[in-house]
Structure 1
């Protein structure tokens, strides 16, 4: 019996506050992917209830894993320092 923990955030923009209330799933997904790389071991799930798309991001290697998958990582020093 596994006890699940975590935080669920639901976001529905208010037209009284936001000029644009339709957001790009791809833009949000890319940003959350970056955050998952920066927060090693953090699982981030994005779901678009409009059309059912979803992505799950979990990078146990954090920024090191990002460097291995980034297209321009060959231009960066091979020595990775994790603070």
Structure 2
């Protein structure tokens, strides 16, 4: 759950701010950090499920940001075309 939240929150903020490049960095971090930890820190075992949780967090953050943005626009009478 920690991995999911740690990636969902910055992903949502990046989406809201239009900083899509941050999402690319978060996905890269999710895919690289686990194997790198296992290689650089002898006491750590890489866990592929942590990487999956990170990626699910990115997707969750984007969905949350899009949903909240859509709800806000609908409530204010503005709609995307």
What's the TM-score bracket when you normalise by the shorter of the two chains? 0.3 to 0.5
Bigger relative CO (Cα 8 Å, ≥ 6 apart): 2
TM-score by length of 2: 0.36
Structure number with bigger Rg: 1
More helix, by proportion:
2
- TM-score, reference length from structure 1: 0.36
Identify, as 1 or 2, the structure richer in strand: 1
